[in-house]
Amino acid sequence: MSRILVTGGAGFIGSAVVRYIINETTDSVMVVDKLTYAGNLASLAPVARNPRFAFAQVDICERQVLDQVFATYQPECVMHLAAESHVDRSIDGPAAFIETNIVGTYTLLEAARSFWSTLPDGKKRDFRFHHISTDEVYGDLHNSNNFFTETTPYAPSSPYSASKAGSDHLVRAWSRTYGLPTLVTNCSNNYGPYHFPEKLIPLMILNALAGKALPVYGDGQQVRDWLYVEDHARALYQVATRGQAGETYNIGGHNERKNIEVVHMVCALLEEFVPQKPAGVAHYQDLITFVTDRPGHDVRYAIDAAKIERELGWIPKETFESGMRKTVQWYLSNDKWWKQVLDGSYQGERLGLKG
C-alpha cells in the first residue's frame, strides 16, 4: 500500500484524484489543502470516512507545517495540485497566483527534498514528486493546425499561465540540480462533477437553470480541448505510479470544441433534461450573451496525448458527448452541492474530517 500526499485535494481535479485513489486502489491518501474559496470539503464527502483517507488544512507556503506533515505521514508520492487557477482572477489580482503557484511550489519542493534526502536508497529511488500543470503554459495555437507536445516551447499569455510555467520550471530544476524524482503533466481543459461554478460549463448550466444570461467572451470562437475530470484523475494516477521519473506527459481528451459550441451543447442537453424553463425563457440558447473578450485571450489550445497513450496505455473513456451528458445530469442531481457553493455556506463545512 502506497501513501500518497495530495495537495489541493479539496479542489475540482484534486478531489477527483482522491476519490479515484480511495475507490479504485488500495493506496492511502493524505489531503493537504488551504481551503481557499475553491476548496470544498463536500467534494471529499464520498470518501471522507474511509480509514485510508486523512486531511490537514495547510497552506503550502508554510514550510514548518509542511515539514511536520512529511515527517508524520511519510509519503511515498506527492501529487501537487494546489494552485490558483482562474484566469480572470489572475488578471484582476495576480499576486495570489505568484504566491501560491510559484512560492508555494518552491516551498513544497524544498519540504519534499528535505524529507526525500533522509530516505534509504531504495525508497529514495522510488519516491515521486508529481506536479500537475496546464496546457496554457504553451500559449496560443492561433492560425496553426499543430498540437501542443511535451517539447513545445513555453509562451504563457496570462498571469495564471505564467505562474504555472514558473512552477513547472522549478520542478524540472529541482530534478536536474538535486536529483529529486519528479514528474510533470500538462492537461487540457477539465470538466465534470464538482466543478466550481465560476468555470464555463457549470456557469452555463446554473445560469440557464436560473434564467440568467449566458456570458460568452468575444465571438465564442476560442477552441479548447476538453477532458472529463475522471479520465484525468485516472491518467494522473497512472503517471504517478508508472511514469518515468524526469519525464513530462501531456494529457488531453481529443475533444476540440469552440466555446460557443460548448454553450450550445449545454443548452441542448438542458432542453432535453429540463424542458420546463424559467419564466420568460422560450429557449435556453436565447440566454446567450456575447461580452467583451478577456485581455490576452488565447484562441486555441490542443493537446497531443500520444506519449501517455504509447508509454502508459492511457486513453480517455469519455467522449465529449458522453462526458457532457454525465456532467449536466450530475448538476441536476446534486443541487445541494452547488447551492451551498452559490450561497457560500460550503465554506463553513468541515465534515469532521480527521487531520
Q: Are 17 and 50 in contact (CB under 8 A)?
A: no
Q: What per-residue confidence (pLDDT) applies to 354? A: 38
* Residues classed as catalytic: 135-136, 160
Outline where DSSP puts E strands in 230-291: 248-251, 256-258, 288-291
Q: What per-residue confidence (pLDDT) applies to 16? A: 98
Q: Cα separation of 130 and 32, whole Å?
A: 15
CA pseudo-torsion sign 69, 159, 245, 303: positive
Average pLDDT, the chain: 95
pLDDT tens column, 308-326: 999 999 999 999 999 999 9
Q: Which of 102, 30, 101 is nearest to 66 (CA)?
A: 30
Q: What per-residue confidence (pLDDT) applies to 142? A: 82
Contacts of residue 88, defined as CB under 8 A and 6 or more positions apart, other chains included, come to 198, 294
Q: Is the pTM of this model over 0.85?
A: yes
Q: Are 10 and 44 in contact (CB under 8 A)?
A: yes
pLDDT tens column, 184-225: 999 999 999 999 998 999 999 999 999 999 999 999 999 999
**Burial 317-332, CB ≥16 within 10 A → b, else e:** ebebeebbbebbebbe
Q: What per-residue confidence (pLDDT) applies to 351? A: 47
Percent of the chain whose pLDDT exceeds 70: 98
List, edge to edge, every strand of the sheet that includes 223-228.
Answer: 189-191, 223-228, 256-258
Which residue ranges in the chain fall short of pLDDT 70?
Answer: 1, 349-355
CATH number 1.20.1630.10 given to 3-194+228-254+297-318+344-348: no
Q: What per-residue confidence (pLDDT) applies to 1? A: 64
Domain ranges of the chain: 3-194+228-254+297-318+344-348
Q: Which of 254, 230, 243 is nearest to 320 (CA)?
A: 254
Q: Which of 86, 133, 125, 129 is nearest to 108 (CA)?
A: 129
Q: What per-residue confidence (pLDDT) applies to 347? A: 82
Q: Are 266 and 208 in contact (CB under 8 A)?
A: yes
